[in-house]
Amino acid sequence: MASFAKRPFGYIPPNCPLDILYEDDHYLILNKPAELLSVPGKALSARDCLESRAQAYNPDARIIHRLDMATSGVMVLALTPEAHRHIGLQFERRYVSKTYTACVWGQVHGDSGHIDLPLICDWPNRPLQKIDFERGKRARTDWEVISRHSNHTHLRLHPITGRSHQLRVHLLSQGYPILGDRLYAHEQAFTASKRLMLHAESLSFRHPDGGAHMHYTTPSPF
């Protein structure tokens, strides 16, 4: 697995406008493109990110949660300290509901299932994560099949927890790496797609002003 992390990589953020799905006085809902960092990286060449682009639009915008650079999809950014605290607590207490879509290598057995495997950072090979039954933190994912194809399966994923690389490692553990995954996929799965085939499709939470149930979706690009 460690060798996959050494595949050539250079940060070239996509040249596209900010995709605003919704905004009010409290938060922004954005559709993050694949290959854009959620927050700035350490290198000067990695300053361009979703948060910096949002702050160019509204200087008050602040990240509440993250998506992996290679993952696309719906994200919420706070516009006030109160919204940041309120929605952040919803993430922390697992009141937020999320769905993803993914294309994985192979023919998945069954139409739905549940993965409950603890995860921990693989420190010698970071940022890779791994399953560790002794020291790992509990991680849970529900999944269902959307469609089947000749060499891959299209899935909808419901993460119950939000561990780093959870969906990627959980699916890999079942023998189904996500197509285009430069960190975890074997060569056939990696070269089967020009991008990581993982997309944050929907996000639901309570509005920080009044508590109304809010639900946002952005169609999968694959």
CATH (domain of 65): 3.30.2350.10
Are 51 and 121 found together in one domain?
Answer: no
Q: Cα separation of 162 and 110, whole Å?
A: 24
Shared domain check, 126 and 207: yes
Q: Do the domain assignments include residue 100?
A: yes
Residue 169 CA to residue 190 CA, distance in Å, equals 14
Enzyme catalytic residues: 68
Provide the residue-wise pLDDT of the chain in tens; the chain has 222 residues. 444 555 767 899 999 999 999 999 999 999 999 999 999 998 888 899 999 999 999 999 999 999 999 999 999 999 999 999 999 999 999 999 999 999 999 999 999 999 999 999 999 998 999 999 999 999 999 999 999 999 999 999 999 999 999 999 999 999 999 999 999 999 999 999 999 999 999 999 999 999 999 999 999 999
Cβ atoms of residues 187 and 177 within 8 Å: no
Could you tell me the residue range of the domain that residue 153 belongs to? 96-211
Q: Is residue 151 part of a domain?
A: yes
Task: Specify whether the CB–CB gap between 22 and 203 falls below 8 A.
Answer: no
Structure confidence at residue 8 (pLDDT):
67
For the chain, the distance separating the N- and C-terminal CA atoms, rounded to the nearest angstrom, is 26
Residues 89 and 101 in one domain: no
H/E stretch holding 85 reads helix 81-92
Choosing from 53, 77, 93, the residue where a domain stops is 93
β-strands 152-159, 97-105: how paired? antiparallel
In a domain, 150, yes or no: yes
Kindly state whether residues 32 and 71 are assigned to the same domain: yes
The Cα-based distances of 159 to 57, 80, 120, 163 in angstroms read 30, 27, 16, 9
Domain stops at, among 60, 93, 126: 93
Considering the domain architecture, whether residues 198 and 106 belong to the same structural domain is answered as yes
- Residue 3 forms part of a structural domain: no
- 195 and 139 within one domain: yes
Whether residue 197 sits in one domain with residue 141: yes
Same domain, 80 and 104: no
* Number of domains making up the chain: 2
- Does residue 72 share a domain with residue 108? no
Last residue of a domain, one of 62, 93, 124: 93
